[in-house]
Structure 1
Amino acid sequence: MAWKAVSRALTTNECKKYKHISTRDGCPVCGREKETSFHALVSCEHVRMIWAQMRTVWRLPSQEVLHDTGKEWLLNVLANCDDHMRDCTIMLIWRIWSLRSDLTHGKEAPPVTAMSDYLQSYMNSLNLCCRFSIEEILKGKMPMVREETVEVPNPRTPLHWPRPPTDRAALSVDGAFMQEDGSAVVGMILRRHDGSVIFAAYRCIFNCNDALEAELHAIMQGMALALQHCSLPIVVQSDSSMALAAMNGDSLSRSADGHLVAEIGLHMEAREFVPSKIKREQNRVAHRVALYSRT
């Protein structure tokens, strides 16, 4: 598993596009970034909660050490680990990839707590095999294995919403794709520099292809509403770098989402819209507005 991640042999969408197997290299789960091995195993939003859960029971590399330094990012991470931490890290990314494969093929992922119990049991079994003979294990003649206590660091201060300049308004948008039924929800909120709300809205999209299309719907419909309710230049804030790239480029103009890109282009002719990439935790309000539509 580690060798595949280092040698770019994982069947990520980036690898498939490089080998001309696929025309898209975006993440099929979150749709926010290119699906590299680092994104699939570390930075995807569905993976971060797994890392956070396992850090409560295992010693793993800190978030500050996990950087995308190119195709050898995993070698750089493992080089700074002791033997036990290295084993746990490789075991974790192996399990993350198998769960991700199941998710992209329509299978239901188990709860994070169940996955944590599974990994701990698996690692304990491997440790027993290394320390005792098979006969001792089967007869139960080995001592109990005591798990070392893991100190969980205090959570860092959350990032706040980035305010726009005084002469602009900020349009925060977010889309959430439901792979189970192919539907999506989008949320958008337009705010002034002081944080006062000009409008907030949500939409339900009952037929959506992927997470990227949901993000493009959020941008397009948010821009349309902003033109009606505000006369200021607007900063479009999203945590999807791929969707924001479509505002100033033609990378998706010939794709299945070309009609959305064309509509975004028409809105940009009517007003100054400036794309701005923000982090997921800075986009909490738009995300909550989108999820509200499910009720």
Structure 2
Amino acid sequence: MAEVWNLPNLEAMRPSGYEWLLQILHACGEEQRAMTLMTLWRIWHAHNEMTHHKPCPSIEGSRRFLVSYLNSLMIVKQFPDSDIAKGKMVINQGQGFRRVTNRSETRKLERPHWAPPTEGTAKLNVDGAFTMDGRAGIGMVLRNCHGEVLYAACQQVHHCSDALEAELMAIEMGVQQALQWTQLAFTVESDCLEAVNLIKRASPNISAYAFRIRMVREFLRERDSPLVKINREANNASHELAKLARTQGRNEAYEEGATIARGEEEQLDVKLDMELDMKLDKTSHGRAREERKACAREEEAAQAGATSGPTGRHAGRPGPRPGPTGPHAG
């Protein structure tokens, strides 16, 4: 399939750690991700046929089937309003799964990215990550209009009921921290539509999340902070922090982030993700190193005090004579 499709390098398709396949798919583009999943699906089908003592499909037959299948999907995506039965559509391989438009309507499709807030304000991005075993992680990033990180943190949650609760916890704790770390007015952004709607809904909430929702509303009212739903692609930094807390159990805080030029907003999240990871590693390793040095200094001081004897103004003076001992003492 690699002869006709743009598949990831076979060397990368090896188990290399936790969620290795998801990491590979995340790094792929939309078309490459679809090709990879369809190839894996066909491999599973061939394995299933052999398991049930049926003839294995030929390699050439599988190749033609997958190519035809993907082309059919692309036609549906590129020409949703056309009659597929007539077969008059020409697939544009460069267009991928995007809809083909008229030249007069064609515009460059831009990938959503993080946008800086207005001058003199800040922006808080939050996200939550959840697994079915009840573990979760939350991430938050507070930035000013220049892209400077005022505060960022990730925290593991050991007991969480579902993904919605993780998102609500991320919003609550993020807003609470933002109120402490900046005096600026700030906007709150989350990629969870359900959580945003629950908080913004005017009617009283009587669900299991009622108390948490009420706390979020009170925090937001302190600065009149608007809560906005954004695309996942514009929330990468907090998403990576939440995933870091969920998968590695990290509980870290990061202050005073890097400055990124306004013209580089499309790369801001990627650079911030890398820098946050390096800073968090340095912070945890540096703290452990300082603790070891402090313990070593205390041990050296204790040993020096035990061997050198008394020091200072009274050093060298003879001590009081011992009194008489024995049966005639006193």
TM-score norm. by structure 2 comes to 0.47
Tell me which residue corresponds to 1:173.
Answer: 126
Provide the C-alpha distance between the structure 2 equivalents of 1:236 and 1:198, rounded to a whole number of angstroms.
14
In structure 2, relative to structure 1, the CA distance for the partners of 1:269 and 1:220 (3 Å cut) is same
SS in 1 for 2:184: coil
Which of 133, 150, 153 aligns to 1:198? It is: 150
Tell me which residue corresponds to 1:238.
Answer: 190
In structure 2, relative to structure 1, the CA distance for the partners of 1:146 and 1:172 (3 Å cut) is closer
Provide the C-alpha distance between the structure 2 equivalents of 1:223 and 1:207, rounded to a whole number of angstroms.
21
User: Is the aligned partner of 1:291 residue 2:243?
Assistant: yes
SS in 1 for 2:61: coil
Provide the C-alpha distance between the structure 1 equivalents of 2:210 and 2:111, rounded to a whole number of angstroms.
36
User: Is the aligned partner of 1:55 residue 2:13?
Assistant: no
Tell me which residue corresponds to 2:161.
Answer: 209
In structure 2, relative to structure 1, the CA distance for the partners of 1:198 and 1:143 (3 Å cut) is closer
SS in 1 for 2:63: coil
Tell me which residue corresponds to 1:145.
Answer: 61
Instruction: Note the C-alpha offset of 1:248.
Output: 1.8
Provide the C-alpha distance between the structure 1 equivalents of 2:228 and 2:178, rounded to a whole number of angstroms.
16
2:125 is matched by which residue type in structure 1?
S
Report how many aligned residue pairs link the two structures: 181
Tell me which residue corresponds to 1:163.
Answer: 116
1:242 is matched by which residue type in structure 2?
E
RMSD: 3.8
2:63 is matched by which residue type in structure 1?
E
Provide the C-alpha distance between the structure 2 equivalents of 1:143 and 1:191, rounded to a whole number of angstroms.
52
For the Cα contact (< 8 Å) 1:192–1:198, is it kept in 2?
A: yes
For the Cα contact (< 8 Å) 1:53–1:113, is it kept in 2?
A: no
Provide the C-alpha distance between the structure 2 equivalents of 1:291 and 1:193, rounded to a whole number of angstroms.
25
For the Cα contact (< 8 Å) 1:173–1:189, is it kept in 2?
A: yes
1:174 is matched by which residue type in structure 2?
D
For the Cα contact (< 8 Å) 1:53–1:116, is it kept in 2?
A: no
Provide the C-alpha distance between the structure 1 equivalents of 2:95 and 2:153, rounded to a whole number of angstroms.
35
User: Is the aligned partner of 1:276 residue 2:203?
Assistant: no
In structure 2, relative to structure 1, the CA distance for the partners of 1:146 and 1:207 (3 Å cut) is closer
User: Is the aligned partner of 1:264 residue 2:229?
Assistant: no
Q: Tell me the alpha carbon deviations over residues 70-109 of structure 1, each in whole angstroms, 9 at most, x when there is no partner.
A: xxxxxxxxxxxxxxxxxxxxxxxxxxxxxxxxxxxxxxxx
Instruction: Note the C-alpha offset of 1:166.
Output: 1.2
Provide the C-alpha distance between the structure 2 equivalents of 1:187 and 1:198, rounded to a whole number of angstroms.
14
Provide the C-alpha distance between the structure 2 equivalents of 1:224 and 1:291, rounded to a whole number of angstroms.
21
Instruction: Note the C-alpha offset of 1:51.
Output: 7.5
Instruction: Note the C-alpha offset of 1:147.
Output: 2.6
Provide the C-alpha distance between the structure 1 equivalents of 2:185 and 2:114, rounded to a whole number of angstroms.
18
Structure whose alpha-carbon radius of gyration is higher: 2
For the Cα contact (< 8 Å) 1:240–1:277, is it kept in 2?
A: yes
Instruction: Note the C-alpha offset of 1:269.
Output: 2.5
For the Cα contact (< 8 Å) 1:54–1:116, is it kept in 2?
A: no
Provide the C-alpha distance between the structure 2 equivalents of 1:176 and 1:285, rounded to a whole number of angstroms.
13
Instruction: Note the C-alpha offset of 1:198.
Output: 0.6
Q: Which runs of 5+ in 1 are unaligned?
A: 1-45, 58-110, 125-137
In structure 2, relative to structure 1, the CA distance for the partners of 1:243 and 1:120 (3 Å cut) is farther
- Percent of pairs with identical residues: 30
In structure 2, relative to structure 1, the CA distance for the partners of 1:144 and 1:241 (3 Å cut) is closer
Which runs of structure 2 are paired with 1:96-111 in the superposition (5 Å)?
none
User: Is the aligned partner of 1:117 residue 2:43?
Assistant: yes
For the Cα contact (< 8 Å) 2:123–2:144, is it kept in 1?
A: yes
1:247 is matched by which residue type in structure 2?
I
Instruction: Note the C-alpha offset of 1:234.
Output: 1.3
Q: Tell me the alpha carbon deviations over residues 27-64 of structure 1, each in whole angstroms, 9 at most, x when there is no partner.
A: xxxxxxxxxxxxxxxxxxx9xx998567327xxxxxxx
In structure 2, relative to structure 1, the CA distance for the partners of 1:54 and 1:189 (3 Å cut) is closer
